[in-house]
Amino acid sequence: MNLAGQLRPIVAALVMLAASACLARAEEVNDYPTSARAEYVYGCMKATGETRAAIEQCSCSIDVVASIIPYERYVTAEAALSMSQVRGNLGVQFRTSEQANSAVNDLRRAQAEAEVRCF
C-alpha cells in the first residue's frame, strides 16, 4: 500500500473529528429556543419598525446576543428587567440584587454589540 492509501483513513478520521467539533459548537451557540428568539425579534420590531429590514436587523441582533451570552444568563436578565418594574419590596429586591444587575449589564453589553453589528 502506498503512502496516499495509508493516509486516507487518517485524513477521513480527522475530517470527521473536525466536523463533530463544529457541530457541537453550533449546538452550544444555538441554545436559545425558537420561542425566545421569536419573542425577541417581535419586541425588537415593535421598537424599530415593522419592515422587512427590521426583521433582518432584529434577527441578526438575537443571533449576536445568543453568541455572546448563554440562554440561562439571558433568562436571568429578562426576569430581572421584568421584575424590577414591580413596585414595592419585590421590585426593590430585583433592582438592588448584584446578581440581577450583573445579568442585566451582560445583556445590555450584548445588545450594544448587536446594535453595532446589525443596525
Which residues fall within 8 angstroms of residue 67, CB to CB, at 6 or more apart?
29
The Cα–Cα gap between 114 and 88 comes to: 33
> Cβ–Cβ contacts within 10 Å for residue 58, how many?
24
Residue 65 has pLDDT above 80, yes or no: yes
Report the percentage of the chain scoring pLDDT > 90: 62
> What SS3 class is residue 30?
coil
Highest mean pLDDT: which of 19-33, 41-55, 88-102? 41-55
Assigned C-alpha cell, 18 = 473536525
Q: Residue 62 pLDDT more than 70?
A: yes
Where are the chain's structural domains? 1-30, 32-118
Residue 70 is classified by DSSP as -
pLDDT > 80? residue 100: yes
Give yes or no for a contact between 56 and 48, defined as CB atoms under 8 angstroms apart: no
**Separation in Å, CA 24 to CA 18, 29, 69, 77:** 10, 9, 17, 25
What pLDDT score was predicted for residue 90?
80
pLDDT at res. 92: 83
**Which has the higher per-residue pLDDT, 23 or 88?**
88
